[in-house]
Amino acid sequence: MWGEIVGHKREISILTKVLEKGELASTYLFSGIDGIGKRKVAVTFAAASICSKDNRPCGTCPDCSKIIKGVHPDLVEVEAEGEGEIKIDDVREIQSRIKYAPISGKRFVIINDAHRMTTSAANAALKILEEPPIKNHFILITSMPSNILPTILSRCQKISFSPLTEQEISGYIVSKFDIPEDVARHVAMLAEGSIGRAINLNHESLKTLINEILDVTRSNDTTRLLVAAERWSKDGDHERLPFLIYLLHRFIHNALLFKLGLKDRWGGTFDEVSAILEARNDKDSLIRKAKVLNDMHWQITKTYNKQLMLEELLFTLLG
């Protein structure tokens, strides 16, 4: 089970040492950006504590199997519904589940997105954490620790999770999906350390989009640029425009890093676009364009005439 986790060697080694010494804290805070596997580590940690085999978590005993299926009575998980909040009723549900002694000898309560607790839920949670019943352990998971009550934070043993490296993500993407390594590298770079984000990116349309941008950049041809702007602006996918701007921002940013000698070149389509932009612009112009894109990222979803905006954008950037 530990072997299935991508990256986080340091975090896992801290947790396995805790288990070896038998010094489990009553409350942990796992913090780090979304989509890097904090919850998976939390569940595996719970399995490692509850599993009674030598090589724990073995992944096959009845305890491990139930944990993997999400039906173990001693693993309680709470999360907000959709984009909502964790409410006081959710915390009351925890209270009722921890009233009795755990069956396996230990119980774990995982609160996902703990920063989404309402004030009353957080206060109720604080009461539990102030006097946690014996043999119960809490793991609060969050990407926004600053939005959690300081009184709760002060009771937690904190483990902060690093973003995954581009190599860790591209290795995972290649092993899980049938995509070539250079596309996996693009995905890894755009995922910015989050494996969840890497999985959610549509790899095929990413490849197409990058090739289209390369085509426009290479040709430096006004007609092609206008055609591309029209096509992209008519795309029904609402996620696509902000993503396109994000992508262009990455190209410019990459070009700037090349210019400053701060990044190695991988070769491939992505670097080719950046190299063209690097050759056409001086440092100040790249910085200025990066700023334009950054501002535009916030405006695009509100803009009525997306085509006009995209044309302007492409002329500024690629022209």
Residues near Zn ion (CB under 5 A) are: 51, 53, 58, 61, 64
- Is 33 or 61 the residue whose CB approaches Zn ion more closely? 61
DSSP class of 117: B
CB of 8 to Zn ion, least distance (A): 20
Q: For the chain, what is the largest distance between any 2 Cα atoms, rounded to a whole number of angstroms?
A: 72
- State in angstroms the smallest separation of the CB of 53 from Zn ion: 5
Whichever of 53 and 176 has its CB closer to Zn ion, that residue is: 53
53 or 265: CB nearest Zn ion: 53
Residue among 53 and 283 whose Cβ is closer to Zn ion: 53
Q: How far is the CB of 12 from Zn ion (least distance, A)?
A: 17
Least distance (Å) from Zn ion to the CB of residue 163? 30
Nearest-approach distance from CB 56 to Zn ion, in angstroms: 6
Half-sphere exposure of 90 (CA within 13 A, CB side): 25
161, amino acid identity: F
In the complex, the smallest distance separating the C-beta of residue 108 from Zn ion, rounded to whole angstroms, is: 14
Nearer to Zn ion, 62 or 84 (CB): 62
CB of 61 to Zn ion, least distance (A): 3
What is the rounded CA–CA span in Å between residue 296 and residue 312? Answer: 11
Decide: residue 264, CB within 10 A, 0-12 exposed, 13-18 middle, 19+ buried: exposed
Taking the least distance from each CB to Zn ion, the nearer of 65 and 162 is 65
Spatial separation of the C-alpha atoms in residues 109 and 51, rounded to whole Å: 16
Half-sphere exposure of 291 (CA within 13 A, CB side): 6
The strands making up 136-142's β-sheet, listed across from edge to edge, are 75-78, 107-111, 136-142, 27-31, 157-160
Alpha-carbon distances of 110 from 28, 37, 42, 90, rounded to whole Å: 9, 14, 7, 12
Q: Which is nearer to Zn ion, 49 or 254 (CB)?
A: 49
DSSP string of 216-239? HHHH--HHHHHHHHHHHHT-S-TT
CA distances from residue 47 to 16, 40, 63, 104, 121 in whole angstroms, order as listed: 12, 11, 7, 11, 27
Are 129 and 101 in contact, with CB atoms under 8 Å apart? Answer: no
